[in-house]
Amino acid sequence: MKIDGTFKANELRVGRIIIDYLREPMEISALAALITNEDGQTLAWTKAQGAWSDETRDAINKVRECMEVDINKALFGTSGTAQAKTGEGLTVGGGLGEYLQGKDDAPSI
């Protein structure tokens, strides 16, 4: 169906970022909302992936470094070598031991 008129979205906001360091080269995709700034209504969503600027890649790598510092602090109580300010209250998921709850053996399936 052909639509006449002007699209009313006048802002774009990234709502989700997916970063995959397991792919070579690193894969980045984003989901962005097209919104109206008058009332904040979301009119559409769009995916973005592919070629990102060096500035974006550098910023994402900085976020990764900061997250590694936070995880290192949560697991080992140290901040590692990066000079990032670490957050409080980060929890890292555990393994089978957390599910055993002090029992001698894992429950049967």
Number of C-beta neighbours around residue 28 at 10 A: 19
pLDDT exceeds cutoff 80 at 74: yes
What is the reported pLDDT for 92?
Answer: 58
Model confidence at 84, in pLDDT bands (50, 70, 90)? Answer: very low
Mean pLDDT of 46-71: 94
Cα separation, 19 vs 61, whole angstroms: 10
Work out the average pLDDT over 2-16. 92
**What's residue 101's pLDDT?**
55
In this predicted structure, the answer to whether residue 30 has a pLDDT above a threshold of 60 is yes
User: What does the domain layout of the chain look like in residue ranges?
Assistant: 1-50, 53-103
Tokens in use for 42? 């979301």
CA distances from 39 to 1, 36, 45 (A): 27, 6, 17
Pick the range with the lowest mean pLDDT from 58-62, 68-72, 101-105.
101-105
Mean pLDDT of the chain: 82
